[in-house]
Amino acid sequence: MQIKKIELTDEERKVLRTLARSGAMSPGRVSAETLILPGETLKLLKALADAGMVVLRDDPASADGQLVAITGQARDFLAFEA
């Protein structure tokens, strides 16, 4: 088994902690709760999705049209860091 080293920025950690605490939400709500500008939030969410830390999916009920949720891998990462 190979262990992959994961390095995240403080803002990425902030996003993950927010999702872990509050559950799945729209990108706009992530931005509002973390006080990160919306454009930067989308960039962070795409990078986290590429790293397998969050899942972005279509959600017609959301004003943003998307819902973001934390993955088990991200929960494990946060638990290890604690």
Q: Residue 21: which CATH number?
A: 1.10.10.10
Q: Which of 38, 50, 40, 55 is nearest to 10 (CA)?
A: 40
Tokens describing residue 15:
């996003």
* End-to-end Cα spacing for the chain: 23
Residue 3 lies in a domain: no
Residue 70 lies in a domain: yes
Answer yes or no: is pLDDT of 2 > 60: no
Tokens describing residue 81:
């860091």
**pLDDT tens digits, 16-75:** 999 999 999 999 999 999 999 999 999 999 999 999 999 999 999 888 899 999 999 999
Answer yes or no: is pLDDT of 81 > 60: yes
Residue 71 lies in a domain: yes
Q: Chain centroid to CA 8: how far? A: 11
pLDDT at 11: 96
Number of domains observed in the structure of the chain: 1
Whole-model pTM: value is: 0.89
Residue 37 lies in a domain: yes
Domain of 61, in residue numbers: 10-81
